[in-house]
Amino acid sequence: DAGVIQSPRHEVTEMGQEVTLRCKPISGHDYLFWYRQTMMRGLELLIYFNNNVPIDDSGMPEDRFSAKMPNASFSTLKIQPSEPRDSAVYFCASSLIYGGPVWTGGYEQYFGPGTRLTVT
Amino acid sequence: SQQGEEDPQALSIQEGENATMNCSYKTSINNLQWYRQNSGRGLVHLILIRSNEREKHSGRLRVTLDTSKKSSSLLITASRAADTASYFCATSQTGGFKTIFGAGTRLFVKA
C-alpha cells in the first residue's frame, strides 16, 4: 500500500483565500484523523471520522474550518477564509480499529507526510 | 491542556548511549503509544502499550507503563545517529478513540 497520501505538500496563499487540503487514507482503514502541528501548540486533533461519519469535531478551531469525508477513500479539510494564524503543518492519519465484527485492538495511526500551509 | 507531557523537552547523547524519555498523563487511558517524527515528516508509530500491560519491547525499544503514577517511559538502547528525531507519547482515553499527543522530546544523537 502507498500509505496515507496528502495533497498538496506545500500551500502558500494570501489571507482571505479559501484553502482545501486533501487526504487519501490507507485502503480498508475505518478511522480518519486530521491534525494540525505548530511550534506553539504542538500536535492538535481537529476532527476524526469513523466510516466516513464525523465523530468528534471539538478540536476544529472555528467556523472557518470544515471537513468532509464523502467516501472511504477521500477526505478534505477546508479553511475559508484563511488567516495568517492558520499557518501550520496539517496531517491526516488513518487507522484500522474495528476490522469488522471482530475487535482488532489496534489504535496505531498511520500518518501522511503533511501539508505545510503558509498564509501571508 | 494536553493529556501527555514528555520529559525532557530535549536530549542530546552520544551514539551508543541509551536514551530515556518520560511521559505523564492525567486521566484513565485505554492505551499509550509512542511515535517518532523526523524533521519535516509525518509521525511514525513505534509501539503501543495497553493499560493492563506494564512493559513491552520492540527491538531496541523498551516501554514501561505505570498506571498508578500515570506515567510511561521509552528507552532506546544503543542509540544511533539515525535515532535523531522528536518522540511523542499519545494517549487514548478510556471509552474513546480520541488520541491526544504530548509536546514531544527532541532527541539528538551525536555520531
Q: What are the tens digits of pLDDT across the range B33-69?
A: 999 999 989 999 999 998 899 999 999 999 999 999 9
CA of B45 vs chain A CAs: smallest distance (Å)? 6
CA of B102 vs chain A CAs: smallest distance (Å)? 8
C-alpha cell at B46: 513505534
Residues of B in contact with A105 (CB under 8 A): 50
User: What was the pLDDT predicted at B71?
Assistant: 95
Task: Tell me which residue in A42, A95, A114 faces B104 most closely, judged by beta carbons.
Answer: A42
C-alpha cell at B98: 480520541
Q: How confident is the model at residue A102 (pLDDT cuts 50, 70, 90)?
A: low
User: What was the pLDDT predicted at B2?
Assistant: 46
**Cβ(A20)–Cβ(A77) below 8 Å:** yes
- Quick one: B93 exposed, middle or buried, by C-beta within 10 A (0-12, 13-18, 19+)? middle
**Cβ(B5)–Cβ(B100) below 8 Å:** no
